[in-house]
Amino acid sequence: MNTESEVPSSAPRVRVLRILALPVLALALATPASHGLAEAVTERRGSLVIIGGGERPGRIHQRFIALAGGTNHARIAVLPMASGEPERSGRLQAEEFRGFGVKDVDVVRFDRTGAMLPATAERLMGYTGVFFTGGDQARLAAVLVGTPCETALHRMRDTRGVVVGGTSAGAAIMSRVMITGDQRGEPDRKADFAVVRRGATLTSTGLGLVTNAVVDQHFIARRRQNRLVGVTLEHPELIGVGIDEATALVVLPDGSWEVEGDGSVMVFDARGAKVREEGPHANLGAIGVRFHLLLPGDRWDPTAGR
């Protein structure tokens, strides 16, 4: 079913769209002409705005809006499917963008059946910015990964200059190796994080919008250093990046990283390290891991940082 609710025409436009297994023709007809799906491909790469969760300083939202085209030209889709309360989460995020003056915001919801429809992917192609709310990244991945909508997100970012952002769970899903938040063994067992060992942190498949890193969030606030170090040593070809609350990692079109907000971004780089595994519990060790702590305003090129 597809439903829309319109605010008065005098207010900035926020539409709530639910796409659940619509016939392709009906969905195509529901796509507003203002989204310009027939526009020519710009062939330019967009940025990523990856937020560590928590309260977000206004300048993070302003950066995302600017990258999406500015308050008068941005067309933002809020995807709230990670949340256990997607209607509320989507509405609050849309209102937040409206509060910064964005005139065109849609809350777009669909299940996996909807994500498999080419027409849903085509609808997404009309936006200049896509934003994932927080919640459970596994829930969001179950809807998007391996669908035409995932392909559309890559195409939008890679060729149309679309900015993709997300907070908390919406940050974790950005990397292909996705930290699920679960640990091996019983859910309430903390001993798995007392040492760094292989397999202590469960991972799944994310969107892969970040190709050279694995992303963790709420990082220093929730003391997640051990789990990110472990995942980084299991995947030493990837950079471990831990983003704190009230902080965003902005991945620029040239691949360099920039920090925005109030906190820090912690980087573990084991690409040149010697990683070893010992003992009956597969404890991990390494020599030569590089560590960086990036502050707001810092810019780092991960290709030059090896």
Domain of 275, CATH number, reads: 3.40.50.880
In a domain, 82, yes or no: yes
In a domain, 35, yes or no: no
pLDDT, residue 282, reads 85
What residues does 276 pair with on adjacent strands? 285
DSSP-derived pairing of the beta strands 201-205 and 213-217: unpaired
Number of domains comprising the chain: 1
In a domain, 4, yes or no: no
In a domain, 269, yes or no: yes
In a domain, 93, yes or no: yes
- Rounded distance between C-alpha atoms, residue 95 and residue 144, angstroms: 24
pLDDT, residue 279, reads 82
pLDDT, residue 13, reads 53
Q: Which residues are catalytic?
A: 168, 186, 218
**What would the pLDDT profile of 255-296 be if each residue is shown by its tens digit?**
999 999 999 999 999 999 999 998 887 899 999 999 999 999
pLDDT, residue 24, reads 34
pLDDT, residue 191, reads 52
pLDDT, residue 181, reads 76
In a domain, 19, yes or no: yes
In a domain, 305, yes or no: no
In a domain, 74, yes or no: yes
Prediction pTM value: 0.86
231 near 240, Cβ under 8 Å? yes
What stretches in the chain show pLDDT beneath 50?
Answer: 1-11, 21-40, 42, 186
By residue range, what is the domain housing residue 237? 13-28+46-298
- Rounded distance between C-alpha atoms, residue 194 and residue 102, angstroms: 46
